[in-house]
Amino acid sequence: MKKSILFLALLQSLLIFAQAPQKMSYQSVVRNAANQIVANQSIGVKISIIEGSLNGTTAYAERHTTTTNANGLFTLETGGGTPTTGTFATINWGNGSHYIKSEIDLTGGTNYTLSGTMELLSVPYALYATNGISPAQAGAISANTNSITTERNARLSAIMEQATTNAFLQAQIDSDIKDNAVTSAKILDANVTNAKLDKSNIPLSGFGSAEADVALGGYKLTGVLDPTDNQDAATKKYVDDTTLTKDLTSTHIFVGDYWGKVADVALSGDATIDSWGALTIANDAVTNAKMADDAVDTSKIIDNAVTNAKLAVDAVDTSKIKDNAVTNAKLDKNNIPLSGFGAAIADVDLGANKLTNVADPTLAQDVATKKYVDDTMQAQIATQAATITAQAAAIAAMQAQISVLQKPRLITSPIENLKAASATSGGAITSKGLGDVTATGLVWSTLTNPTIDLTTKTFDGTGSGEFGSNITGLTPETTYYVRAYATSSYGTAYGNEVIFTTLTTPVTPAEVTIGTQTWTGKNLDVATYSDGTVIPQVTDPTEWANLTTGAWCYYNNDATKGTTYGKLYNWYAAAGIWNEASKTDASQRKKLAPTGYHVPSDAEWTTLTDYLGGAGVAGGKMKESGTTHWYSPNQDATNTSGFTGLPGGARMNDGKFYVIGYDCLWWSSSVDSTPTYAWIRALNHNSGPAIREYFNKTYGITVRCLRD
């Protein structure tokens, strides 16, 4: 509140003494900014004498500390305080006009607020005398002083008369404001101004009980104490601290059924706690009578609920009821918004009505709304449900672990002796569990995770240790899943799953015998090594160019070319290099050629061409004649050897395809002195020789096999 001081000078006494006392008597009544008398209070006062004009030079200033009486009046002697500027005795009273300026600090200190400045209309004769005035001047001053004294007495009489009138008005107000005595008739239309009804000065508590729901217009009730009685409004802090602080156990409510679905819970009479934890509700804990319509009605909010006792003394004074500005319509409480009243000084009784349209709380002491409570409860229920779900999952996991510990534990052996219709495997029991092992064996299927419910299984005895089985009745070129199993009184356990693909049904290739050698009659066309290990098919040119292990492709990635020309293999496939270890350890390498055959060495190719009359003429004798597959002129082609060489082309080390119809190329198993190259044999459409040269190992060309 602004702390400016309204300082009303009621009496100023200027005394004349035979001897110059160098003092003036000064009296004043003090009111605060609310126009209320400041009674019986120590105050700080500063008096200044100003020469010439209101804003003239300060000739003298002094400080006082004094106390007002019950009527707010204080008295002091100017010239008797503590000087801060000049000396009182040296003031030249005859030098023009003089003004007296008063300043007050209500706390008794020196932080003054300007109260007012007034002109001194007369100065005591004795003060003039000290400045050496003539007898004639002194006489005039004395006469003037008598005139001033008469005027002062008249003014004091008027002030006392006004004070008497004010006292009468206050007594009349006290008489009129009593229980049930303030009616609309006594507050006439146009008697009170809006400015004088400051709602911020009226505490919210003290009003009568509400006659209807209190709408807050979307604002909050703040600064609310935590509730103690049942019907107290809940605060955010109360809700946060007290709702669902316990875990849901078997003695608490379980929301939903065993599978986490929401289920209705019917409660009538005594509700028993079942195995899932339904909460017991005692008989008649909640009755219809307590929830009936119209449990609170308007008859409970009576007229005259506001009495004088609830309107504190001096809450309304005469200065606030005047000016003819407020009508009965303006005093309709429905037109006065609830927000903006002063802070409550006691609990606010809503008379069993609701607080409506309240904003959701954010601070701990905000009133909680139904939505906030519902959302909080739902969130906590969801959290508890998630906890229960997680606990159930953990329990299930623990039960699974217990089951694993009870049953035997074992591993499945790798596949061996893989053929088109059979293979061998087995298992090793690492722990028999809590019971004796009564059955062991293998179970397999074309679907993952086979179990002993299938008929495709073996029985390999009882007890712990290792066991082996033959897997029979398989389909060629088919992928299977196999697991070892062991059974005890605690159930059946399974080893790791092993995946394998059976081989192609072996076909005896057409052969051609030339001299002492027997060759296959056509180029190789297999997708696995002889033990069934798959050789990857690579179509991407960049991937092909960077290979360092075996791979194959069709010319131009066209499967129809394979029927005629066979597959194109890089040298790593021809050499059986299939993993990192086999690059440096020849004993780890696979065999590309079918059982009973091998990829010929460079020397074995030379044996063939020598038998056919030497490399210079052998090519024509090895090529298929005509231009069905070869481009013209297919020089010197007679195929008198029966070798039937076809121009299958090649895939170069950049991954691109070239020369189909022009060249026939075959790998040897022999490497050149340069580590990245190997020897080949080649036939060309435009010449008759059998050409010996070396290719980069990343090239893809055909393979012809030689019987062992």
- Choose the final residue of a domain: 317, 346, 368: 368
169: in domain? no
- State whether 578 and 675 are in the same domain: yes
Number of H helices, E strands in the chain: 10, 28
14: in domain? yes
- State whether 151 and 202 are in the same domain: no
- State whether 681 and 592 are in the same domain: yes
pLDDT at 507: 66
Give the residue from 452, 456, 502 showing the smallest Cα distance to 480: 502
- State whether 257 and 353 are in the same domain: yes
- State whether 497 and 517 are in the same domain: no
Number of structural domains the chain divides into:
4
CATH number for position 56: 2.60.40
pLDDT digit string, tens, across residues 124-172? 544 554 554 555 555 555 555 556 556 656 665 555 555 445 544 454 5
CA atoms of 50 and 473, how far apart (whole Å): 129
- State whether 239 and 333 are in the same domain: yes
Respond yes or no on whether the N-terminal peptide bond of residue 675 is cis (omega within 30° of 0): no
Tokens for 496, please give them. 């790791």
At 172, which amino acid appears? Q
436: in domain? yes
- State whether 541 and 679 are in the same domain: yes
- State whether 189 and 68 are in the same domain: no
pLDDT at 253: 47
CA atoms of 523 and 622, how far apart (whole Å): 13
pLDDT at 462: 94
- Choose the final residue of a domain: 112, 134, 155: 155
656: Cα separation from own chain's centroid = 53
CA atoms of 111 and 66, how far apart (whole Å): 15
* Residues contacting residue 312 through CB under 8 Å, at least 6 positions apart: none
pLDDT at 346: 86
- State whether 577 and 666 are in the same domain: yes
375: in domain? no
CA atoms of 473 and 178, how far apart (whole Å): 112
132: in domain? yes
400: in domain? no
401: in domain? no
- State whether 136 and 189 are in the same domain: no
pLDDT at 202: 66
Sign of the dihedral defined by the CA atoms of residues 361, 363, 368, 371, in that order: positive
- State whether 465 and 520 are in the same domain: no
Range of the domain at 143: 6-155
Longest dimension (CA), the chain: 173
DSSP annotation of 609 reads: H
Say if residues 468 and 425 touch (Cβ distance below 8 Å): yes
At 142, which amino acid appears? S
CATH number for position 483: 2.60.40.10
Give the helix/strand (H/E) hosting 400. Answer: helix 370-406
Residues (pLDDT < 70) of the chain are 1-22, 114, 122-204, 206, 243-336, 506-508
378: in domain? no
- State whether 488 and 540 are in the same domain: no
Strand partners, 103: 46, 114
